[in-house]
Amino acid sequence: MDEDRNSVEMRQPTRDGSSEEYVRVKLPNKKKREIFGVVDQALGGGHLKVFCQDGKMRLGRIRGKLKKRMWMREGDLVIVCPWDFQDDKCDVLYRYTRIQAQNLVRRGVVPKHLESLI
């Protein structure tokens, strides 16, 4: 896989289930220090415990833009950005749907140690 790509195209069923459409899905941008993570526990108040790609458990904060629009559950695959000044905290930037996460696992984009948690 090319490290400079920031998105991947995948097929996804439409809401009514009658057909499929192509959807472009965001990938972590290594230049901006974005990594994959899996939600371990919802703490409330827009905070989550996230197990990150680098093997650390971090306290994740849901950005205001995503807070009311997208609900996070345990086992969700997310993109996080660790904080520069506190390495044990991070911002949650994006959440994948179950179908999108399964497609990324099938393509080999998600690290092996996170696959079992999804």
Matching residue, tokens 């904080």: 83
β pairing state of 57-62 and 89-95: parallel
Kindly report, residue by residue over 1-19, the tens digit of the pLDDT. 444 567 676 666 666 666 6
d(CA 31, CA 44): 30
What SS3 string covers 57-114? EEEEEECHHHHCCCCCCCCCEEEEEECCCCCCEEEEEEECCHHHHHHHHHHCCCCHHH
Structure-model confidence comparison of residues 21 and 35, the more confident one: 35
Q: Choose among 84, 83, 88, 99: nearest CA to 51.
A: 88
Query: What is this structure's pTM?
Result: 0.81
d(CA 50, CA 76): 10
Q: What is the mean pLDDT of the chain?
A: 84
What fold characterizes domain 30-115? OB fold (Dihydrolipoamide Acetyltransferase, E2P) (2.40.50)
Pick the range with the lowest mean pLDDT from 11-15, 54-58, 71-75, 111-115.
11-15
Share of the chain above pLDDT 90, in %: 36
Kindly report, residue by residue over 67-104, the tens digit of the pLDDT. 677 788 899 999 999 999 998 999 999 999 898 898 88
The encoded tokens of residue 93 equal 């930037």
